Amino acid sequence: MRQTIKLVIKVIESADGQRADWIIDGGDQSADIYWSVLDGLKRPTRTVETRLLLDTGEVISLPLKEFAYLLPDRSGVLVIFKPGSYTHPDGSDIFPFPNHAAIFNADGSLRCQVRFAGAPERSASYVIGLPFTRTITHKIMPIGRPGESIDPPIVQFGVLVGTKEHPPESFYVLNTESGELADGMFSVPR
């Protein structure tokens, strides 16, 4: 059985060296409470670490400082990298565009790099944006009316995708085991 993640935490350090844990995913309190932790820090601030708190109580440090988004089954996190934020010793990006995202397991190991399915020349200018989760509970009938229910529901996890020239505008479904992105967002069983 896979380990599961309870919280995703960014450790933020202030100008005077004070540190605060900022819960960025998995928490059950209002976002205002989490933001208030940061408001008390002397500016400027910087992220020094991203951590995973597992359901067992174990804390795992990830080798990155980016936002990490919980997968629906809580077995790992999706990380979308900005250019220059996660690099080889020579300064080149470990995960360059257009495949600038990766999934890490709860133990901190790399599960897979996120990549576009097929047509690499078409996806060369794509930019991966924010993640989303969608739950499908009913089959679709003609004209968009709900059909019979699906049990158990289908949970799709994906990202918004755009081009370097345009903001993210299309939904792509992410296979969280293989890292493959497909534009099948609206493929619902009939």
Around Cβ 79, how many Cβ atoms within 10 Å?
24
Closest CA to 173 of 108, 120, 117: 117
Q: What pLDDT is stored for residue 88 in this prediction? A: 87
Q: How far apart are CA 81 and CA 100, in angstroms?
A: 5
Q: How far apart are CA 109 and CA 94, in angstroms?
A: 15
For 98-156, the pLDDT digits (tens) are 888 999 999 999 999 998 876 555 566 677 777 888 787 877 766 666 678 888 887 88
For 47-72, the pLDDT digits (tens) are 999 999 999 999 999 989 888 999 99
* Mean per-residue pLDDT over the chain, rounded: 83
Q: What pLDDT is stored for residue 32 in this prediction? A: 78
Q: Are 83 and 93 in contact (CB under 8 A)?
A: yes
Q: Are 133 and 155 in contact (CB under 8 A)?
A: yes
Measured CA to CA in angstroms, residue 184 lies from 33, 69, 73 at distances of: 37, 21, 20
Coil/strand/helix, residue 87: strand
More confident residue, 18 or 187: 18
Neighbouring residues of 57: CB distance < 8 A, sequence distance ≥ 6: none
Strand partners, 78: 69, 103
Sequence spans of domains, the chain: 5-182
Closest CA to 164 of 126, 138, 128, 115: 126
Q: Residue 19 corresponds to which tokens in the numbers above?
A: 């540190």
Q: What pLDDT is stored for residue 161 in this prediction? A: 82
**pTM, whole model, 2 decimals?**
0.83
Residue type, 102: A
Neighbouring residues of 5: CB distance < 8 A, sequence distance ≥ 6: 26, 52, 53, 54, 55, 70, 74, 75, 76, 77, 106
Residue type, 151: D
Q: Are 41 and 20 in contact (CB under 8 A)?
A: yes
Q: How far apart are CA 83 and CA 124, in angstroms?
A: 15
